[in-house]
Structure 1
Amino acid sequence: MIQRKAVAMTEITTIDGVLEELDEIIETSVAEGSPLAIFAFVYRRTTAKIGEGIEKGQFEDPRRMERFDVDFAKKYIRAFWRYRHDKPVPFVWKIAFDAAEDPDGRNPIILQHLLLGMNAHINLDLGIAAAETVPDGQIQSLKKDFMMVNTLLEELIDEMQERISRASPLLFLIDWIGEQNDEAVVNFSLRRARDFAWNVAVTLAHADEEEKEHIIRNMDQQVLKVAKRVLDPPGFLLPNVLSLIRTFEEKDIRVIIDKLK
């Protein structure tokens, strides 16, 4: 396992700085053959998309948006390197990182690795970062820019689904399953997750410090339940379809990342 010094979070102040850190995470994960590179790559793409939106003037307050996006990204970057140095991380991040080492032999598919990262970063980190971005009592001033991100990210959905399909040719079966049931691994909704995160941000913005700690701990436990369903969905049909998808998808992480590019 490649080791490095813990990231000095205070040194990351721009989106370009975030992209450099994400590049290092991707490079490290690919070198180790770790599927953690999958989420890191997709997240880098979305971060770059937000950076483009800032440059194009698509946000009401570009400087605040960059500060928000940087603080949000740092929560993932910090969790990644803390985990590698055997330091505590939120439960929902630990299950996502543990899945890459796969101690229980579940062999998650590419989509599951991606959703585990999205679940932790959006359902847990995003609301916290939003509440920390604005002064007390001013959370509503962030709402328009927060929701604008939905529009930018949804533009990436079809693109990323097509790219993932290059490495996972039977991924289309997930769409078919989605018409049959509502299991979490199938119907993880980016917009619904971000709406949840906004509600969390509003709740945290009106809580005192002691209440915030309690809310975040409870939220970590709640989001962990979603992660467990993504990783080990109940029933008969979905687990067997995932097994079929896994059989025919690319296993080499370097090749997977090349196909996502």
Structure 2
Amino acid sequence: MELNLIKSITIKRATTIPEVLEQLDSIIDDAIANNDRIGYFAYLYRRVTAQILKEVQLKNFEDNERMEKFDVAFANYYLDAYNAYINNTPISKSWAFAFQNRNEQLTILQHIMLGINTHINLDLGLAVSAEMHGKDILEIENDFTKVNSILASIVNEMQDRLSRVSSMLFLLDLAGKNTDEKIINFSMQKARELSWHNGNLLWGLGSEHQNGAIDQMDLVVLSLGQFIKAPKSKIIDYMLSFIARFEEKNVGVVISKLRRE
């Protein structure tokens, strides 16, 4: 069986947000050491998680204790998937696709989107359903929605940071005004709206009747991942290929530039 990644680290399940950040740092450091593009999504996810922690510490959610617990449960879906992948154990089809394409010659944006696609479109619905099992799911809706405004601000920030490592990314604007930003916005904000719908569906089914629905969701997310990798539009596909040629190829350099304030 093919070894998926150099197993130089062990990823553990987290119990607090700081522990999530620590595990994400390990994934990022390992990606830099191995020049592995898997680190791009991990960087973005760490940025989002750090901001959620800040908002929890500022007590900006209706139920900050519940939000921290929920954020950790959500993160563990990614940590579990990563750990399973490097150990060649079964994972969802959509995560397998994202990981297997980690070193394809795609744009940095596409690599980030592949991670966003599965973690939000699949994992987030699973997490909210599991976390609110036996409770009224509507109790968490306002805090769940509030995260969208946090994500919107990070989208703007990421837009600026990506220009540091992808000098031709602006060419996507030729296909439509702020197309690149819309791509990220769809993946971050619209996907969260879909995940809320999916979470409600799974919550309503109950844990004993979810398997079939989860399998169907996984297939839909897989198809979205395939679209991210190879857009139907020949113009967009060509532009992405062209953009990728001029991007920084060293993962450590990319993440260093993305981190820079």
Does the TM-score normalized on the shorter chain lie above 0.5?
yes
What's the counterpart of residue 37 of structure 1?
39
Structure 1 residues 56 and 180, CA gap change in structure 2 (3 angstroms): closer
Contact conserved, 1:54 with 1:65, CA < 8 A, in 2? yes
Q: Does 1:211 align with 2:209?
A: yes
- Per the alignment, in what secondary structure is the counterpart of residue 57 of structure 1? coil
Where do 1:1-261 residues align within 5 Å? 1-4=5-8, 7-9=11-13, 12-102=14-104, 107-179=105-177, 188-261=186-259
| Amino acid of the structure 2 residue aligned with 1:19 | L
Q: Distance in 2 between matches of 1:210 and 1:65?
A: 25
Shift in Å, 1:45: 0.5
- Per the alignment, in what secondary structure is the counterpart of residue 7 of structure 2? coil
Structure 2 gap segments, 5+ residues each: none
| Amino acid of the structure 1 residue aligned with 2:219 | Q
Shift in Å, 1:136: 2.2
Structure 1 residues 128 and 108, CA gap change in structure 2 (3 angstroms): same
| Amino acid of the structure 2 residue aligned with 1:191 | Q
Please list every run of at least 4 consecutive aligned residues from structure 1 whose deviation after the TM superposition is greater than 4 angstroms: 179-182, 184-187
Shift in Å, 1:137: 4.3
Structure 1 residues 8 and 25, CA gap change in structure 2 (3 angstroms): closer
Instruction: Identify the range of structure 1 (170-179 vs 52-61) with the bigger mean alpha-carbon deviation.
Output: 170-179
Contact conserved, 2:125 with 2:199, CA < 8 A, in 1? yes
What CA deviation, in whole Å up to 9, does each residue of 1:48-100 have, x standing for no partner?
00000001111011111001000100100111111011111111111111111
Q: Distance in 2 between matches of 1:24 and 1:180?
A: 33
| Amino acid of the structure 1 residue aligned with 2:254 | I
State the superposition RMSD in angstroms.
1.9
Q: Distance in 1 between matches of 2:171 and 2:198?
A: 33
| Amino acid of the structure 1 residue aligned with 2:41 | F
Q: Distance in 2 between matches of 1:186 and 1:232?
A: 16
Contact conserved, 2:172 with 2:179, CA < 8 A, in 1? no
Contact conserved, 2:173 with 2:179, CA < 8 A, in 1? no
Q: Distance in 2 between matches of 1:89 and 1:159?
A: 31
Contact conserved, 1:25 with 1:40, CA < 8 A, in 2? yes
Q: Distance in 1 between matches of 2:179 and 2:50?
A: 34
- Per the alignment, in what secondary structure is the counterpart of residue 239 of structure 1? helix
Query: Across the two proteins, how many residue pairs are aligned to each other?
Result: 254
Q: Distance in 2 between matches of 1:41 and 1:187?
A: 17
| Amino acid of the structure 2 residue aligned with 1:109 | T
Structure 1 gap segments, 5+ residues each: none
Percent identity, aligned pairs only, is 38
Structure 1 residues 257 and 114, CA gap change in structure 2 (3 angstroms): same
Structure 1 residues 186 and 208, CA gap change in structure 2 (3 angstroms): closer
| Amino acid of the structure 2 residue aligned with 1:123 | N
